Structure 1
Amino acid sequence: MRRGIIQRGERTVATTAQTVRRKRRYTEEDLKRLPRDGYKYELVNGRIRQVPTGGRHGELGAGLTARLWNHVRRWAKVYDSSTGFRMNSGNIRSPDVSVLRKERLEGGKSPEDFIDGAPDLAVEIVSPSERPAEIYAKLGEYFESGAQEVWLIFPERKQVHRYTPSLQVQVLNENEVLTTPLLPDFELPLRELFEGV
């Protein structure tokens, strides 16, 4: 018998005799009702998707979150992957790390609910199991919803791809330093980011 797991637009309903699957479009309310079980979920085109993450993924995200928070905390908020952003399409995306200027938040405070629009900076740590089409769909949605930059981190290659809204990309390798006009004076030697992972 399986417990109410939601995956790929199907709802699994446990009964004593059998497991029944039914297709339906899920909503923000369905996403909010999911248990806080340590998994990352997104609402994409009416389907709730569990996004796989692992230890290395979490370590990279935590390290980058700390570096960004130390740099921007006076004028921006930094969020981890448990924060949902409501895209213009209605999808709810949860970047692995995100930065949002406080001036975009009512009273400079984070809402209890999902945040409208994309963060100013969205960071996705790309796992080997993610398909390129999925990655670039997220990239497009972030920019369509107001992102100023998107960073794709490829741990396997030890690279960061820094995208701007015009879809220009800067590819940075492990021996380079990540800087951006979006975050004045921010410098991240990528060797430090990838150290030990």
Structure 2
Amino acid sequence: MIALNLQPALNLTDEVFEQLCRQNPELRLERTAQGELIAMAPAGSETGFRNADLLGQLWQWNRGKNLGFVFDSSAGFALPNGAIRSPDAAWIAKERWQQLTPEQRRRFAPLCPDFVLELKSPTDELAILQAKLQEYVDNGSQLGWLIDPESQRVYVYRPGQLVQVLERPTSLSGDPVLPGFVVDLTLIWK
């Protein structure tokens, strides 16, 4: 991951950032609340496999419950603090998504997902991901999971609560934010 401070030479407005993303589709880009441009390295194959498993489980649960919308890591969200972030997986309650205009849905949706998931890859720094999860909660997420396959830990973030650290859990419950969703983590620890 590389963080570039382009100010004052370039002010990364929403429009400029969106243009930059369109012109560089091969890059995974985010913008911090301070206006820094973040370029992230592609995840390794093993991380991609794990992320697909987690996303698939979330998608399957949502397909059955029809309570909201699931997003992969290519979706960006314009958070209330001005950052534009792309979690590895996200979920937004149906009512909140439907309040957005069609134009808002086509761009970086101006809201923070209700649920976010980040899967640490070997190139990620844990402290940076922990700060990112806290940023999501500070901007409205009701539940965040940071999964670290290396240390075999899961960090659970909820508003108004201390971060919960779980050692190699075999599953996680999304209740009450994701009613009835239980993710199986057995493939993550292999």
Name the structure 2 match of 1:154. 148
- The structure with the largest alpha-carbon Rg is 1
Q: Is the 8 A contact 2:90 2:115 kept in 1?
A: yes
Match of 1:166 among 160, 163, 169: 160
Structure 1 residue 139, shift from structure 2 partner: 2.1
**Structure 2 CA distance, aligned partners of 1:31 and 1:132?**
26
CA shift at 1:158, angstroms?
2.5
Which residue, out of 155, 178, 186, partners 1:191?
186
1:57 aligned partner, one-letter code:
T
Q: How does 1:59-98 map to 2 (within 5 A)?
A: 59-73=49-63, 74-98=66-90
Q: Look up the equivalent residue of 1:64 and give its one-letter code.
A: L
Residue 51 (1) aligns with residue 40 (2): yes
Q: Give CA-to-partner distance per residue, 1:11-65, whole Å, 9 cap, x none.
A: 9xxxxxxxxxx84331222221223534321011212211222222222221111
CA contact under 8 A between 1:27 and 1:43: conserved in structure 2? no
Q: Which runs of 5+ in 2 are unaligned?
A: none
Greater relative CO (CA pairs within 8 A, separation 6+): 2
- Partners of 1:25 and 1:47 within 8 A in 2: no
Amino acid at match of 2:74: S
Q: TM-score, normalised by structure 1?
A: 0.79
Question: Are 1:30 and 2:20 counterparts?
Answer: no
Aligned match of 2:30: 42
Structure 1 170/144 Cα, relative in aligned 2: closer, same or farther at 3 Å?
Answer: closer
Q: Normalising by the residue count of structure 2, what TM-score does the alignment of the two structures yield?
A: 0.82
Rounded Cα–Cα distance in structure 1 between residues aligned with 2:70 and 2:174: 16
CA RMSD of aligned residues (A): 2.5
CA contact (8 A) 1:9 1:46 kept: yes
Give the 3 Å change call, closer, same or farther, for CA 183–7 of structure 1 in structure 2. closer
Structure number with the higher strand fraction is: 1
Q: 5+ unaligned residues in a row in structure 1: which ranges? A: 1-5, 12-21
Contact 1:85–1:114 under 8 Å retained in 2: yes
Query: Quick one: percent identity of the two aligned structures?
Result: 32
* Length, aligned pairs only: 180
Please tell me whether the aligned partners of residues 54 and 183 of structure 2 are also in contact (alpha carbons under 8 angstroms): no
Contact 2:130 2:146 in 1 (8 A): no
More helix as a share of residues: 2
Question: Counterpart of 1:9?
Answer: 5
| Residues 1:135 and 2:129 are matched in the alignment | yes
For residues 101 and 36 of structure 1, do their structure 2 counterparts lie closer, same or farther at Cα, with a shift above 3 Å needed? farther
Amino acid at match of 1:96: D
Instruction: Give distance in 2, aligned partners of 1:50 and 1:126.
Output: 16
